[in-house]
Structure 1
């Protein structure tokens, strides 16, 4: 099982699980379509904080990640 820690940065998680990027883009993390944003903001932004900034509830984030085969650690 692919384990996601919501406190890890978006960059770390996508480096470990490249298949996560389109999932996050579909959830509203549209700036990730630009690799420069991933390289800059993504290196500093924990996934849980990024979700809050785009108005995505943690419950919806966890549900979607679980549906895509990830196990979420908070």
Structure 2
């Protein structure tokens, strides 16, 4: 299980774990499919804040990521 910090930016997490990008897009982070959005907003937006923006609860985010081998730490 890969441990990820929800306070890190989406961009940093995807740089460390590229396999995370399609997972996030599938669960609702649709703008991340656009590299320009990832390189702008993704550099400023922590994962936990992004989840709130798309109205995805942290519990649902944790469950979805756990199914893919990631353990989200608050």
Asked whether the two chains share a fold, i.e. TM above 0.5, the reply is yes
Displacement after TM superposition at 1:71 (Å): 1.5
> Residue 50 of structure 1 aligns with which residue?
50
Count of matched residue positions in the alignment of Structure 1 and Structure 2: 74
Displacement after TM superposition at 1:5 (Å): 0.4
> Residue 34 of structure 1 aligns with which residue?
34
Q: For structure 1, which runs of at least 5 residues remain unmatched after alignment?
A: none
In structure 1, C-alpha distance between the alignment counterparts of 2:58 and 2:2, rounded to whole Å: 18
Displacement after TM superposition at 1:3 (Å): 1.3
In structure 2, C-alpha distance between the alignment counterparts of 1:34 and 1:7, rounded to whole Å: 22
Runs of 4+ in 1 over 3 A off after TM superposition: none
Q: Does 1:3 align with 2:28?
A: no
TM-score norm. by structure 2 comes to: 0.97
